[in-house]
Amino acid sequence: MSEASLNPQTDEPKARPLGGTEYSWSRAVPGGTGITVLSILLTKPLDILHLQNALRNFQISHPILNSKLHFNPTTNSFSFLTQPTPNLQIQSFDLPSTDQILRDLLNPNSDSVTPFHLILEHELNQNSWQNPDHPSYADTDVFFASLYAVSDTQWALILRLHTSVCDRTAAVALLRGLLVKLAGRREEGGTDWGLKGTEKVSLGIENLIPHGKASKPLWARGVDMLGYSLNSFRLANLEFLDPNSPRHSQVVRLLMNEEDTQKLLDGCKLREIKLSSALAAAGLIAVYCSKKLDDHHWEKYAVVTLTDCRSILDPPLSGQHLGFYHSAILNTHDVNGRETLWELAKRCYMSFANAKNSNKHFTDMADVNFLMCKAIENPGLTRSSSLRTALISVFEDPVMDKSSEMYQQLGLEDYVGCSSVHGVGPSIAMFDTIRDGQLDCACVYPSPLHSREQMQELIDHMKKILIDACNQVENGGNEI
């Protein structure tokens, strides 16, 4: 591709103020929450020039990827400053450079972690938006790419983005589009993911909410804000191991085979609930059991469910529309150790569904964003100053993916997409994919607030709870 085709614009940079949700992410990212990473493991080498041209084409067709995060100290406001030409440069690490990075990352607790996994965690903690003097003032790109030589036969391609420009739906579109471009193909149905986009940075989610959907009387907003604030002091958490040391994000993966995954999906379908509620319920039960509490002791836990609003905005947006268009619904649940998985999962789902039917994903959006910023400013408002706003976060629906001939052509061996949480956020953030019929869930957590051993034990228990519940029902026994 010629250089001219990569420089279609000659205008000055264009600015668009951040919306409320985007602003809350801009406040969160300097502390370490909201660094989105797409990590791809390949067994065939990539042509860096071809890769860079593909990524720059994405910047042309999706200008939000070609923006800088700009802070105006005069107005105390953020904006996306879209650059006239794409300028992404891929940072490349040869095998000796990668080996040195891995040696620096290794510790006694990471012996069983693969190099690909360590590189994923390394990138989750590369904070391009953190400045010790003042994290807001410098204009910073929102999109970075790195290519690591993992071995003589493996390469890790990492895309790192500011979460305000890339929610999970956008990350999936970006991944699929990039693979199509690298394979030199067109997606099924004739869609060219690499070129379809918009000519400007689209409006934030707040400006696209259908008329009247976000309306809430002032007194109701005050009551809800008070309720959220008071409830936060009553919430229980997974045991904190080290709340004082500097934090970073780590990942544990929950993997289930095809047979167990299908049983789990069938169990959810039978009860007319979603997988996200079953995952949340398993997490609540596992955390409660980990505390070895007295019988029937009650604890209150918070669950955040993220829902993609694209299809219900005005105008509706497609899944290829990059940006952040998810909204969060926070529910609390009382647990006393006697609940079965399906009983608690049903309760989790009904709480979420009722809140969504009442438009709380729109009416409470400003409240949740405000409280998130307040927690960042005042860590002491959270238990042990941990900045934990919930026990667990889940997505309403999983990503569905199936291997294809294109994956084989590119030598795609594995991939993980997730975001960091070691600033403000939940103790466990779950990013679930059903890949070739198997559940693959990246569970991100703040370390050393929680340890890898602690989290691995918890995730293993969650998996056992899910599998046992499905098998007991299938065998005609009582639900656990």
SS3 44: coil
State the residue for tokens 């940006």.
Answer: 323
pLDDT of residue 87: 87
Does residue 160 contact residue 34 with C-beta atoms inside 8 Å?
A: no
> Tens digits of per-residue pLDDT, 260-318?
999 999 999 999 999 999 999 999 999 999 998 887 899 999 999 999 999 999 999 99
* Tokens of residue 294, six digits: 């007295």
The number of angstroms, rounded, from the C-alpha of 140 to the middle of its chain's C-alpha atoms is: 21
- Please tell me the CATH code under which domain 216-474 is placed: 3.30.559.30
323: left (phi over 0), alpha (psi -120 to 50) or beta: left
Nearest to 371 by CA among 248, 232, 166: 232
CA 220, CA 241: separation in Å to the nearest integer? 38
In degrees, rounded to 5, the angle at the alpha carbon of residue 408 between the alpha carbons of residues 406 and 413 is: 115
Query: Vertex 430, ends 426 and 432: CA angle to 5°?
Result: 165
CA-to-CA distance for 360 and 433, rounded, in angstroms?
Answer: 26
- In order, the DSSP letters of 47-107 are -HHHHHHHHHHHHHHSGGGGEEEEEETTTTEEEEEE-SS----EEEE-HHHHHHHHHHH--
Contact status, residue 58 vs residue 115, Cβ threshold 8 Å: no
- Report, as ranges of residue numbers, the positions in the chain whose pLDDT lies below 50: 1-10, 132-133, 135-136, 186-195, 477, 480
| CB of 141 closer than 8 Å to CB of 68 | yes
Rounded to whole angstroms, how far apart are CA atoms 299 and 231? 12
For the chain, helix, strand, coil in percent to 5 are 40, 25, 35
Write down the pLDDT at residue 299.
95
In the chain, CATH 3.30.559.10 sits at 9-197
* Whole-number pLDDT of residue 221: 63
Neighbours of 206 (CB within 10 A): 18
User: What is the structure's pLDDT at 189?
Assistant: 43
Residues in the chain: 480
Residue ranges, CATH 3.30.559.30, the chain: 216-474
Q: What pLDDT score does 190 carry? A: 40
Which of the listed CATH numbers 3.30.559.10, 3.40.50.2300, 1.10.40.30, 3.30.360.10 matches domain 9-197? 3.30.559.10
CA neighbor of 151 nearest in space, from 177, 103, 122, 115: 115
CB 307: neighbour CB atoms within 10 A?
A: 18
Q: Look at the alpha carbons of 415, 419, 422, 426 in this order and tell me if their dihedral is positive or negative.
A: negative
pLDDT of residue 187: 46
Look at phi and psi of residue 474 and say left if phi exceeds 0, alpha if psi is from -120 to 50, else beta: alpha
Burial of 168 (0-12, 13-18, 19+ CB in 10 A): buried
